[in-house]
A and B are shown apart, each in its own frame.
Chain A
Amino acid sequence: MSAEINTDSSRVEIKQRVVRVALAGNPNSGKTSVFNALTGLRQKIANYPGVTVERKSGMLTGPDRQPFEIIDLPGIYSLVPKSLDEQIAVDILTGTCPVEPPPDLVVVVADVTNLPRNLYLCTQIIDIGLPVILALNMMDVARKKNLQVNVEGLARRLNIPVVPISAKQMEGIDELKDTIFLHGRKGANGRNGHSILKSVELARVCEPLVTWFQEHGIDSPSGAYAEALRVISQPQALERWQNRNGREELSGLVQKARQELDARGIPWKQAEVRIRYAAIDQICAQNITQPKSTGSELSEKIDRILTHKYFGPVFMFLILATIFQSIYTWAEVPMTAIENALGALGQQVEQLLPPGPLQDMLVNGVIAGVGAVLVFLPQIVFLFFFLAILEDTGYLARVAFIMDRFMAKIGLSGQSVIPLLSSFACAVPGIMATRTIQNQRDRLLTILVAPFMSCSARLPVYTLMIGAFIPGIWLGGIFYLPGLVLLSMYLLGMVAAVVAATILQKFVVKGESTSYIMELPAYRMPVWRFIFYRVYEAGKAFVTNAGKIIMAVSIVLWFLASYPKPDAKHQQDMLALEKSGQTVDSFHEIRQSYAGRLGQLIEPVIRPLGFDWKIGIGLITSFAAREVIVSTLATIYNLQDADETSVDLRAALQNDRYPDTGKPVFTPLVAISLMIFFVLACQCMSTLAIVRRETNSWRWPVFMFVYMLIFAYVASFTVFQVGTALGFGS
């Protein structure tokens, strides 16, 4: 982390130390809004090394150009972590994180309308001995509720600066910045904060433990006392000390303390919580005047409709249907525009450059690759726009509340609903939307099954195959067979997701089973500025991370399909053959490219699924994007500008025969086998690239590709072999 460099050449460059300021707070305390208000767009989002947890940071420039790095820690309720992202936050604060030292200053963001629970964390952080500033957020809501807070009183009692703010209204942000600048530069001298745990009933019970912790690295008496209470109360807290020296001694002391508490009739699990909340309730009683509640709040009134027993699900369906409909229809316009613009650019390049490998690579490799990346942007932008609104208004939590019943059955929670629904449009934004899932196990599981949802890129494949091979007959006068087959493909994807989720959580994504304890935040108006940040962030993350991989793979695929070029002699031989009236292998050009050779190489493997080597080429090139198989087949069959509805392409497929047996290459059974393969296989480099980005490792995308391929192979194999045995093969 280098300091900002002074560009003014007349001055002497002084490298200033970066002051590191961590934002900590409960989920839903408005911490991220405060982060946005402080740093604006000067944000850097990366992952902590080796884990899926995002590290968000931004720079602030203080007086004398002193640089301040603001780090947005994952939301936590206490210093005892229950999940991976909480673990990171706690490790950083307590100084046990191997990749990130403890901050110079902690800004605790607290929801002022829910102060007791927020103070629980704040007082714990004070006890660590780090310098703390308390930012009382949502003061605007408090005013509306007529809630009065004695800010000075709180500051005196806790002995820390307390700044009332409203990040949403940009209120008090300058004061908060000034307070950060003032206190951030004090370093360890800035230690402030009075522990609220002083002179309480349990001091004597904890004494041996306090002494032990002071001998083992916790200097401050209040910090040692807080840690003593924590290891008594919480087995997880004790585990954090288990791999250090003297742990047997520690376990013994903890056992003894627990026995003493039991003897006094105090449940040891509640030791810390009880003491802390008792003190906090006292502080709040002295410093907050809360008006008597005047009936039900606005949120409750809204919920009477939005989570109503009957209207709730109806409204949810209408809201989500509108959103996904608009993602499809609105995104269509810019997507077409992007495709047209890149098509025009390609033509320009074709005119400017002489034909040859360079022109070919620019047009069919680079520009096509740029297109493959950019074409996702409209959907990502639209989805994240709506997702940010749903989340910031508080409605997303209600969707989870309504849908949890069903998701619980497959071992997920209601929070997975939106990412899975989004994946019907495209798995890329769907997988990015899993960031709203708090539980890391649920998030990974959702990512791994999301690509089973039939995305819009599969539709051209279904359309082509159904149009060419499924007869348009009415079953019983009610069901139109092609429509029924299309529906089956969508249902198959969903069933596969359920099966995969069940298997994966047994063997792969074990971890704790879902504990669904979720806050239902009060409804709020969204702040457009923050929604814009979210959309911008999502788009940037996609283009800069996944975009590079997609681009590289596009060029490789172009190379495989174009090289080696047939040599001159080969061309002449073919021409001579044609002139002499003999039948010519019309596939000779593609057959001897690398892609063609690969297709022939894998033919023995895919033959049991009913696929020949030409379909094999399609399987390889469609890795760029599923619908590419359509244009690949069109190229193989020498058709210009054919798409999935093209009659020529359908006819070409219907008429293709195996040269040795004369049997048709494509039959309805082959078409179904191929569609099933496309439902189940992860034939999409963009999905794999985004999984790489979101999980921060190649392990999960590789695993995903392999396990989905196995699903696809087994399913297509079974359908084709059983179908053939039953006589549906012709």
Chain B
Amino acid sequence: MSKQKQFISLVVMVGLILTAPLFSQGFSDQLNIHGFVSQGYLKTTENNYLASDSKEGCMSYSEATINFMTSPVDRLNIGTQLYARDMDEDGNLFVTIDWAYGDYRWKDYMGFRIGRFKNPVGLYAKLRDVDMARVPAFLPQSIYAESERDLNLAINGVGLYGNRPISILGDLDYEVVYGGYNIVDQQSSFFKNQYYMTAEPIAMGMMAMPGIISSTLTGTSNELSTIENVRGIDLRWNTPVPGLLLGSSINQLEFLWNYDANIDMVFPTADPASPYTMSQAVPIAGAYDIRTKIFFGEFQWNKLTVAGEYRTFDIEGDIVIGTTESHTKTPREMYYGMGTYQVNHRIAFSTYYSVFYANSDDKEGADQVVLGRPDHSAWQKDLCFTGRLDINDNWLFKAEYHMINGTGQVQGLHNPDGLKEDWSLLVLKSSFNF
């Protein structure tokens, strides 16, 4: 999308958001219109996180959305949501279709969806873009990593869902999905970091070539990536214990990508002042099978909500570098526990402890050291405290503080000068919705 089109689409969307409350009242029986805008501020110590300038404090954390829903005939709902986001290099306020689908609820125990809809991967996966529906500004990053938002967000495909009472044992919600993803933002830091993580070791490896002075990764090009054959199931058992929910999500997908890494190599010549420089494009392609299993529980009792999730995230596949093929397998592990207390209608507090391991077979980081990275890039442990103030029914403010050990989810691209093990993150965020 050109800058001009981007600007026009953003202006149209902001116009819709500003005027929609007027229209929505007039057509409330036929057409439901809702939306929100939010603006955040990030400030970190020691490491840049989610943005290349968070250590200085940055405002590049914005979201806006508007949706339209209608029910043209009984049991059928159709709707769409436009969404724009800015998170440093990600999004840049490009207006995208967040979801757009038709939903036919044939029976209470069986409904069908077709189109683009949210992928049910975890207890709060569908909350990640709904700031008003949760207390934390950032959901636990071990499982709901902002930097990997593109990977598990929405699916283009078909879904089957429903609810079935199971006598005295409560009731069961289920959802089964199949489909693929759009080719997501190729300029996002998520993809750039994937390339960086793969290509950087290659550049470093070339240092072993005889006579070479230096070898540097200078960029990537011709990026292409698709996510195919997404298969998922989500089960939620609303137990007979009031407020207790137990469940699991299992999801599998194929992630295909390729690009050319540009590597600059410097060789010595007879004149030390004029070394020979050669730039080489190294084609790299990968086909990953990514399997996610999540087990979760949530307990709501009066004003208190306690929740926890445990997730395994296995990446297995082949990487082809030039003509050399290699097999890779990385089991990730992550979990968190969270408590939320709603003091009154306006004030709520939340805290969570979130743990991420980049490789559950290397929790101490020995393999990271071999790759030339600090051991603490093998994990990330985050203790978070959040306060939420609802100024009125439409406008809220959040203040959040994270004390973090480890850099497993900190992007190297944002920290060319290296990573520090202990750091903190302050998030201030305000959202308006209607």
Binding partners A and B: no
